[in-house]
């Protein structure tokens, strides 16, 4: 099924002549929640939903545990998770310490199967904008 998009008009008010430009925007159909995924996986694999949810919960907990310890974690074709640190630069090596850390975030890198989805996706116009 193709990804749908619509055309939007944008006025660039920050420019003196305030030109109008047009840009396409992906239509979002919502989010698939854990309950639906658990039910579909359980049905497809012939196990009950409680067992499926238990395994997914354990997987999330183990990924979080190892990422917190500083390991990168690869989850098959789903992808890899690792902790990423952002810190300030200093002019002296003595000042380069933990106090310069701005933030940590978990970086997700999709696996080949998910990357391939982005390479093969098709698109189609959802609605046309009436231009006067």
pLDDT in tens, 3-15: 888 888 999 999 9
> Quick one: what percent of the chain has pLDDT higher than 90?
77
pLDDT in tens, 74-122: 999 999 999 999 999 999 999 999 999 999 999 999 999 999 988 988 8
38 CB-contact burial (10 Å; exposed 0-12 / middle 13-18 / buried 19+): buried
- Supply the pLDDT for residue 125: 82
- Supply the pLDDT for residue 22: 92
**Straight-line distance from the first to the last Cα atom of the chain, in angstroms, rounded to the nearest whole number:** 31
């Amino acid at each position: 099924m193709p990804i749908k998009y619509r055309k939007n008009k944008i006025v660039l008010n920050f420019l003196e002549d305030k030109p109008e430009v047009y840009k396409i925007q992906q239509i979002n159909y919502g989010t698939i929640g854990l309950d639906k995924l658990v039910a579909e996986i359980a049905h497809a694999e012939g196990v009950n939903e409680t067992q499926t949810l238990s395994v997914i919960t354990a997987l999330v907990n183990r990924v979080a545990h190892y990422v917190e310890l500083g390991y990168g974690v690869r989850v098959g074709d789903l992808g890899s998770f690792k902790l990423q640190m952002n810190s300030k630069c200093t002019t002296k090596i003595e000042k380069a310490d933990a106090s310069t850390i701005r933030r940590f975030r978990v970086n997700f890198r999709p696996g080949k199967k998910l990357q391939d989805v982005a390479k093969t996706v098709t698109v189609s116009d959802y609605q046309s904008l009436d231009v006067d």
